[in-house]
């Protein structure tokens, strides 16, 4: 378990520049008032401007499938097979899931290369 603080406490005398920098790093949007244009009513809603820069178009085959679009499969296998899967995944320094998906790919199932994550723990830091 990490000793990292889960959040930064906001003091009454916090530096605005520091707070803006944190918001920008976290991708928090900012409110922008539109320029007053002639003929518009007095009620104007501020527009939200994203702090994050627009990302270039990415090929969907290069990004892993989101966890929300993953399905879980539960199977019963003999003890000796489970032991072999654990040993093989340990030797390869991967997960049992990766060993199974690699075998399915060799069997001819279509699995995108981006979904062939060797160690699922490596992806959790960005969630």
Q: Cβ neighbours of residue 101 under 8 Å, at least 6 residues apart?
A: 111, 115, 116
Averaged pLDDT of the chain: 76
Give the Å distances, CA to CA, from 24 to 43, 66, 124: 28, 24, 21
Provide the pLDDT confidence category of residue 126 given band limits of 50, 70 and 90.
Answer: very low
pLDDT in tens, 54-100: 566 666 667 888 888 888 889 999 999 999 999 999 999 999 999 99
CA distance 27 to 25: 5
Distance CA 55, CA 27 (A): 13
Q: Which is more confident, 86 or 31?
A: 86
Secondary structure (3-state) at 92: helix
**What does the DSSP 8-state code read for residue 10?**
-
Global pTM value: 0.47
């Amino acid at each position: 378990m990490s000793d990292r603080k889960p959040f930064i406490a906001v003091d009454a005398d916090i530096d605005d520049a520091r707070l803006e920098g944190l918001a920008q790093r976290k991708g928090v949007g900012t409110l922008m008032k539109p320029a007053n244009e002639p003929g518009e009513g007095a009620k104007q809603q501020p527009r939200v401007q994203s702090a994050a820069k627009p990302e270039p178009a990415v090929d969907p085959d290069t990004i892993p499938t989101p966890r929300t679009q993953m399905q879980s499969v539960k199977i019963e296998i003999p003890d000796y097979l489970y032991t072999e899967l654990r040993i093989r995944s340990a030797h390869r320094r991967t997960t049992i899931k990766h060993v199974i998906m690699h075998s399915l790919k060799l069997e001819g199932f279509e699995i995108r290369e981006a979904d062939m994550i060797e160690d699922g723990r490596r992806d959790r830091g960005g969630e």
